[in-house]
Amino acid sequence: MSDQLKKYLSEDRSVRIESVDMHQTWQAAQAHHSYPPSVAALLGELVAASTLLAATLKFDGSLLLQLQGDGAIALMVVECRADMSIRATVKMRDRPLPIQRDIQSLLNPGGTAKFIVVLDPPKNTPGRQAYQGIVPLEGDSIAEALEQYMLRSEQLETRIWLAADAERCTGFLLQRLPLQGGNQQAEVLSADETWQRTQRLAETLTQKEMLEITQDTLLHRLFWEETLLAFDARPITWQCSCTRERVADMLKMLGRAEVQDILETQGKIEVACEFCGQPYLFDGVDSAMLFQPLAPGPGKSIH
């Protein structure tokens, strides 16, 4: 089964429900990295969270979630685009991991860590300007940090459950939606009851079952007595913007002399994408071709 995000509304349309489950995408995110298990688990949770939050937005751009810390993890960032393609990376400091491997110990031992949300419009948007929200990193988990951010910055009551291991990363979101229309007393009471009930049901979730049970089975177990309005599932894919052509352009900017110096010292040039870790290898022949003049195109003969 492909990696998917599934969306629902409660029968009274007062609560948004989302579920995401990724295997292939998550494997691609780790393909060129060897993160410690505790770091990989945090990144997997942030990957799942990015898709859940992006799916709540009516925004044709990219959502970026960033954790900037003063601990063993310097930076953790995930980008989720409007088409639900993602990329993610972690920058580590050269220091031992702490004994405690929770989010605060890994990112915030000095108390200066920040949680940053960026909404980046498409590049061709007139007057393009990214929105950036920055708050202190609070809570004992990524889910708690996101819940606090949504309540403070967006004034939306949101509950999030996240889980990740080496094989899968998954997430579940509940979000209380603003009432439409006249907000009659009965509608308010119904929405209150729905919100409390869906929270009670979801609070039975454990990370173990989120990682062991399929999306559909989990949703059925939670809401088998509820009437939910279902939307089309959205596929999720891994997509980094790096290419061999972009690396070649970067080497051209270094210049022939510097490229030749690297070849004489190392025998080859190996460049890894700073974001996804994909390696690109250029040998002597590849490097020489970088600086070959382009062949002239066909022209008209003059007699």
CATH number for the segment(s) 4-179+189-238: 3.55.30.10
Q: Which of 115-124, 146-155, 189-198, 285-294 has the lowest mean pLDDT?
A: 285-294
- pLDDT, residue 190, reads 85
Residue 296: pLDDT over 80: no
Give dist(CA 154, CA 166) in Å, integer.
32
Stated as kind and residue range, the H or E segment containing 250 is helix 244-254
pLDDT digit string, tens, across residues 124-159: 777 778 888 899 999 999 999 999 888 888 788 999
- pLDDT, residue 181, reads 63
- pLDDT, residue 183, reads 60
- Give 210-230 as a 3 state SS string: HHHCCHHHHHHHHHCCCCEEE
Average pLDDT over residues 246-254: 84
Give dist(CA 54, CA 81) in Å, integer.
8
The CA R_g of the chain, rounded to the nearest whole Å, is: 23
Q: In the Cβ-directed half-sphere of 1, how many Cα atoms lie within 13 Å? A: 12
How many residues are listed for the chain in this entry? Answer: 303
- Please state the domain extents for the chain: 4-179+189-238, 244-290
Residue 302: pLDDT over 50: no
Q: Residue 234 phi/psi, 5° resolution?
A: -115, 125
CB neighbours (10 Å) of residue 218? Answer: 18
Q: Copy the structure tokens of residue 91.
A: 């920058």
Task: Choose among 52, 178, 161: nearest CA to 117.
Answer: 52
Q: Which of 4-13, 34-43, 267-276 has the lowest mean pLDDT?
A: 267-276
Q: Which CATH class is domain 244-290?
A: alpha beta
Task: Choose among 216, 284, 287: nearest CA to 251.
Answer: 287
Q: How would you label 68-82 residue by residue, b for 16+ Cβ within 10 Å and e otherwise?
A: bbbbbbbebbbbbbe
Task: Choose among 96, 27, 18: nearest CA to 238.
Answer: 27
- pLDDT, residue 153, reads 80
